[in-house]
A and B are shown apart, each in its own frame.
Chain A
Amino acid sequence: MKMEEVAVVGAGQTVFGFDRKETFEELVFEAATAALSDAGGSIGDIDNIVTVSNDFWDGRTISSMSVMSAAGSWNKDISTVEGDGMFGAVYGMMRTLSGSFDATLVVAHVKGSEGRMNLITNGMFDPIYQRPLGIDATISAALQARCYMERTGAGEEDFARVSVKNHGNGLRNPHAHLGMEITIDDVMRSRKISDPLKLYDCSPVSDGAAAIVLSNRRGLKRFRQKPAWIRGAAYCSDSYTLGYRDLADPRALRAAAQKAYRMAGIANPLKELDAAEVYDAYSYMELMWYEGLGLAAEGKGAELLRSGATETGGELPVNPSGGTLSAHPVLVAGLVRLIEAVLQVRGDAGRRQVPGAKRALAHGINGPCGQCHAVMIVEA
């Protein structure tokens, strides 16, 4: 199927940080009104809404209820995706393509500071076999990191290099939670969290919200912003049980990426993309995702990083925004990846702009150890 019908025409995000004083409602209103104003439109130009939230993170059943007014749901069709914001964007895209609606507002929020990350992510594991072992997002990630090291020979210094790159990039992003000028040594010496992962290999727990406005061709006349066309979009889930998966092989990401590339007519992503925003919840993930996305050959993720190709100024800058390592509002983070890709192709990324970027990739994940991946390609 040829993709040319849906564009991102507006994007907004809050500043991400820990312990933000605003409520879910206030954060979503801030991001949504920013996206509408970026689009050069108003809530009256929107004919349906997708919200993204999660009952565990919010500590309430029907978590989307609290943001209904802030998302502008009054007398409009609305639905809720529970998962990463990229999947909210995918659902918003479907609704915009369905012929029922021309313009869709997608919002996502989280306040990681209100709950306990380890308990909430322990809740995604099997209650009989796994939860009693105390496993959570970080412990499972450490297992995956170790598998990846065994398979590829990548070392902890390689992971540290991702952390240095992305935290450094985060310094140029006014929305980032944790931009830092650090060295490989700093990462290596930071506190052990779950071997081989250390503090600076792990993303922070962040609060915040983000929003985008999607429009089909018919809806475009309502808005003034330059459209960023979605040229490819695909998503795919691997098995759930960690023991059923080859944790070091991101086959679901490979499947999603290949489909998105086919839609967008991309044969060599490393050459043909100008920027990529990937979901680096933990440093090692970025290297694995290089391979899944076909930017590096199997086992060559660390080599690609060491070559400098993914640094600012390299052949394909990855996470010029600082990535998830610099701000990790869970659920919102994938939508932020898309927003950052949009800003890049519009040339609106400020001090983190990749000069001349025309085509960018955004990536979101769901589930433990990157079980499910969504990939979008946007183009100015």
Chain B
Amino acid sequence: MGRRAAIVGFGQTKGSSSRRDVTGVELINEAVRAALADAGLGIGDIDAVVIGNMDHFEGVNYVDMWSVEGSGGVMKPVFKVTTGGTTGTSVAISAYYHVASGMFDRVLAIGWEKNSESDTTGAIITAYDPFWERPNMAGAIGGLAVDASRYMHDYGATERDGARVTVRERLHALNNPFAHLQQEWMRGKDAVFLVDALVASKENKVLAYPLRMSDMCPRTDAAAALIFAAEGTAEKIAPIPAWVLAVANRHNFVYYGDLDWSRNETLEAAAKKVFATAGIREPLKEVDVCELYLPYSYAGLAWMESIGFCGPGQGPQLLWDGVTDMDGELPVNPSGGVMSSNPIGATGIIRVGEAAIQIMRKAGTRQVGKDVNVAMATGFGGCYWADVMLLGRKKPV
């Protein structure tokens, strides 16, 4: 390992379907100010900036340049990292390497999106190959419906299993003042009752069979920022820094048709690598909390298996046993996750930030009850790009 690095500050804006009151640059600035305030730093303390989003959601080219007046990048080193849905986690990973390389001591990582400024489905369709996949693919919803069809076929998972994931995410979101979807009608209700209600609801339209409205994430406007600092500096900034234990990513494919739809092999490989680096043998026991990029309900079943929290086909059991609820053995997405807020370029930053504040014990009403020594964040993106970051309370060896 290179120089050790930790997260020492996190800031985010409240997710909403449209932030028409601000420009993208102003939205970015809100998140940056929040992160600096959280760390007790000024912009002058920042040595470098790394930022990301997806160009076609706002139609702005060279966003790293366009945003410097909001990001604080004027007369600082700044560049852009963008990898699709994983952009936020890739930006966080990049900020980690900025510090680990020894080139910078305090680095600002920013992700943002104003999905209200364009047609999200249209922009996502252009991620598919123009000759082979664009003519018939239907944005993220169509792609994920295809993913669900395979998992349901292979393991007999049902609509109720998917709805149970949704219920967990949306109940958790009620604890998170920054989450976009706040479904007050769910508050305090029993999970089984809510699953029945979602399945029976006539308003819960089919978007792309087998997915219904309740299976999908919203499109959100928000920005989020993290501050990474080097060992020696981090301890002075944060009482409990969230140390980076391991990072890894995989992206093997050019075409969606190349995927082995029966498994998420990139997430599998990336998770395996971080566990090996951090010396984790039993993920379910050793990881204390997760912020996983689950863009739709069935991912909350299948991808738990890919990470290695349970065996193939055991995702539904783990879920119904309550293991991943707030008071379970492995709380998943105390923030409400992607299904409650999806400002795409910011989403990965939020995953990492939410994992970090669980370690830093700054998660407020969404702080899990147990001690958090190891927290995991993931990113998911186009053609199954998988990013994984493992954070810890103790400095890595």
Contact = CB atoms under 8 A, between A and B. Distances in A.
Task: Determine direct contact between A and B, CB below 8 Å.
Answer: yes
B207 interface: no
Contact of B77 (A67, A68, A234): A234
Given A61-B127, A80-B90, A83-B80, A124 B101 contact: no
Contacts of A73: 251-252
Interface string B372-391: 00000000011101000000
Contact of B62 (A75, A78, A83, A244): A83
A42 B117 CA distance: 44
Given A60-B127, A234-B77, A94 B98 contact: yes
Contacts of B76: 236-237
Nearest to B65: A367
Interface in A99-134: 99-100, 120-121, 123-124, 126-128
A59 B61 contact: no
A238 B74 contact: yes
Contacts of A25: 254
A193 interface: no
Interface in A237-294: 237-241, 244, 251-252, 255
Interface in B305-336: none
B79 A77 contact: no
Contacts of A240: 65-69
Contacts of B100: 94, 97-100
A94 B98 CA distance: 6
Interface stretch (B81-89, B176-184, B231-239): B81-89
B52 to A, nearest CB: 8
Contact of A77 (B2, B69, B248): B248
Given A64-B83, A94-B97, A237 B249 contact: no
Interface centre among B90, B96, B97, B124 (most CB of A within 10 A): B97
Contact of A368 (B3, B65, B77, B124): B65
B256 to A, nearest CB: 10
A98 B252 contact: no
A241 B251 contact: no
B250 A95 contact: no
Given A91-B94, A91-B97, A77 B250 contact: yes
Interface in A341-380: 366-368, 371-372
B275 to A, nearest CB: 15
B156 interface: no
B131 to A, nearest CB: 10
A1 B61 contact: no
Interface centre among B67, B76, B251 (most CB of A within 10 A): B251
Contacts of A97: 2, 100-103
Contact of A54 (B61, B79, B123, B383): B61
B126 A59 contact: yes
Contacts of A83: 62, 64, 79-80
A237 B2 contact: no
Interface in A50-90: 54-56, 59-62, 64-69, 73-83, 87, 90
B81 A79 contact: yes
A223 B76 CA distance: 35
Contacts of A255: 75
Nearest to B93: A79
A68 B269 CA distance: 16
A66 B54 CA distance: 16
Contacts, number: 188
A235 interface: yes
A124 B383 contact: no
A238 B75 contact: yes
A256 to B, nearest CB: 8
Given A100-B1, A100-B2, A66 B79 contact: no
A32 interface: no
Contacts of B23: 128
Interface string B113-156: 00000000001101101100000000000000000000000000
Nearest to B78: A237
Nearest to A1: B102
A240 B66 CA distance: 6
Interface centre among A55, A90, A244 (most CB of B within 10 A): A55
Interface in B254-276: 254, 269
B159 interface: no
B56 A61 contact: yes
B9 interface: no
A330 to B, nearest CB: 11
Contacts of B382: 61-62, 65
Contacts of B66: 124, 126, 240, 367
B60 interface: yes
B84 A93 contact: no
B2 A98 contact: yes
A233 B101 CA distance: 12
Interface string A138-154: 00000000000000000
B253 interface: yes
Given A62-B383, A240-B69, A366-B62, A91 B54 contact: no
Contacts of B68: 237-240, 371
Contacts of B78: 235, 237, 372
Contacts of B67: 240
A69 B69 CA distance: 37
B59 interface: yes
Contacts of A128: 23
A69 B249 contact: no
Contacts of B1: 99-100
B73 interface: yes
B196 to A, nearest CB: 38
A64 B249 CA distance: 15
Contacts of B102: 1, 97
5 contacts: A60-B126, A62-B82, A97-B101, A97-B103, A124-B66
Interface of A: 1, 25, 54-56, 59-62, 64-69, 73-83, 87, 90-91, 93-100, 120-121, 123-124, 126-128, 233-241, 244, 251-252, 255, 366-368, 371-372
Interface of B: 1-3, 23, 54-56, 59-62, 64-69, 73-84, 90, 93-94, 96-98, 100-103, 123-124, 126-127, 129-130, 247-254, 269, 381-383, 385
Given A236-B77, A240-B67, 15 more contacts: A60-B127, A61-B54, A61-B127, A62-B84, A62-B127, A76-B250, A79-B93, A81-B81, A98-B100, A99-B100, A124-B65, A126-B66, A127-B59, A237-B78, A239-B74
